[in-house]
Amino acid sequence: MTVQQASVPDSRDRQLRSYDYTLPQECIAQVPAQPRHAARLLMVPPMDATLEQARHQQVWDWQQALQPGDLLVVNDTRVLKARLRVRRSGGGLAELLVLEPRGDGQWLCLARPAKKLRPGDQLWLEGLEQEPLSLQVLSTDAATGGRLIQFPAGCDDALEIEGVLERFGEVPLPPYISRHDADDQTRYQTRYASRPGAVAAPTAGLHLSDELLAALQARGVEIARVTLHVGLGTFRPVETEDLTQLTLHSEWVEVKAEVVKAVAACRQRGGKVIAVGTTSVRALEGAAQAGGGRLQPLKGPVDLVIQPGYRFAVVQGLLTNFHLPKSSLLLLVSALIGRERLLGLYACAIEHNYRFYSYGDAMWIPPEAVLETARPCR
């Protein structure tokens, strides 16, 4: 099946319902591949090839698709144990998902059941062999429907609150993963996770084992690190049908000067800039947007929306997982290769029993598979 890209904009690209697809329940991965690089890999064919020319390999084989001098950009965020079970002053239980700091030990949290948590309520964290810890509900956040929660003094940022979360919290696996065990503490982190702050993993990076990373570097592929703390902007469902009106919750990003230099050096030597995961894309492209179209160091919030019609400033290829219907991540990948082509590839993946979502398999989009109109201008 050949999917031709229209020469004029397709109005369906601006409608959320156009990004829906049906996924059989058995295609949702419940456990990760072992070893990490044993996950299956759908190799997207060049833009002028048919979808039948897609190849089916393993992530370990991906190294053969990269060339010496290419630059991989990974996201080094670390997932916090951000799911907290709390006891309300009335005796009932509730659950908090700790999202982002708001200063002075105050944190925005999603709450369940939210209607039971009212401003002024006292909450208690309890754990085995732990002294109970008191929290307080301060207010309701109108933008997210969450709650502003007062934590103890000294919990002003992710690094400082991590001690509390390690004592009382759990890794917040997505709701479509129905099983939990101790292995998730390590398997739901990338091997290079070093900067605490995320509430969900940058899942494409979960496939990169120590052995594969070493093989890539031995091949002459360079690796640079950005940070995007995955939060509400990535995993919250899109509800705006008219995508010209879409806005996303901002996420904290840091792109250091050394990354900017690495990208410039890669381009100068003729290498390709390859993002590992959509969060790495959002970090790089957000930093470029802040620099007026030119990649610059950045430290701060990014709320960039990437959807069909977007011309990339930095990213030339992408390793990515298979994403939820009607998600901002599906929009982003569609911007690279086109909506119809992407949905055709998803249908191919379902037919070939690929595993979807966070613990699922991966897709490789090489530079030659990217739409001409989406490729960075050199």
Q: What's the mean per-residue pLDDT of the chain?
A: 94
Averaged over 283-308, what is the pLDDT?
97
Report all structural domains of the chain as residue ranges with CATH numbers, in order of start: 11-79+186-374 (3.40.1780.10), 83-168 (2.40.10.240)
- Identify the bridge partners of residue 74 per DSSP, sorted by sequence position: 225
**Count of residues for the chain?**
378
Query: Of all helices (H) and strands (E), which one includes residue 298?
Result: strand 298-302
Which is more confident, 202 or 91? Answer: 202
Percent of the chain with pLDDT over 90: 90
Residue 98 has pLDDT above 70, yes or no: yes
Contact 370, 364 (CB under 8 A): no
Residue 1 has pLDDT above 50, yes or no: no
> What's the pLDDT at 180?
86
> What's the pLDDT at 50?
96
Tell whether pTM > 0.85: yes
| Other Cβ atoms within 10 Å of 260 Cβ, number | 21
> What's the pLDDT at 169?
94
Residues 6+ apart with CB under 8 A from 191: 36, 205, 208, 209, 210, 213
The pLDDT tens digits for 314-348 are: 999 999 999 999 999 999 999 999 999 999 999 99
